[in-house]
Amino acid sequence: MKVELREMSIDDYDAVYALWQESEGLALKSEDTSRKSIIRFLERNPRLSFVALDNGQIVGAALCGHDGRHGYIHNLAVRKSHRKQGIGRSLVGRCMYALLSIDIHRCHLHVLGDNKAGIDFWRKLGWEQHVELITMSQPLSE
């Protein structure tokens, strides 16, 4: 199987959103994953997010962005039928390379505490868990 990686565009939204919905372990909040939100994210973070295609069908995706100092990877997903083939690793590598190319040298991500497969995946790639950090959030609108 030959999987192609390319930059994500808003034209990929429906297929990527469907992939996210079928992927366990992702926390999909409508304010973060709406078409409008993803348009804004991709415009603010050009050339950093990627999709993986098998015969033209999206089988993987990773949103990647930065705040000017640190990179962030969001909603990495690979279709269940295509896992354990290096697609997730390749998407992460492409994101990391893109961040380095714009002089971002550290990347973070969030994993749900009960997502054992996700935690194991990231650990295998050499990512460190920081249990001393607590994420706090507050909605700005209802």
Q: What is the pLDDT of residues 33-82, one digit of tens each?
A: 899 999 999 999 999 999 999 999 999 999 999 999 999 999 999 999 99
Q: For the domain 3-124, what is the CATH superfamily, name and number?
A: Gcn5-related N-acetyltransferase (GNAT) (3.40.630.30)
Residue 42: φ, ψ to 5°: -65, -35
Instruction: Return the half-sphere exposure (C-beta side, CA atoms, 13 A cut-off) of residue 129.
Output: 13
CA distances from 17 to 33, 99, 141 (A): 8, 23, 23
- The pLDDT of 110-133, averaged and rounded, is 90
Structure tokens at 89: 């690793």
* Mean pLDDT in residue range 107-122: 91
pLDDT at 135: 81
User: CB neighbours of 87 closer than 8 A, spacing ≥ 6?
Assistant: 3, 52, 59, 60, 78
The position carrying tokens 């994101």 is 95
Q: How many CB atoms lie within 10 A of CB 16?
A: 24
Domain boundaries, the chain: 3-124
Location of structure tokens 């790639």 = 125
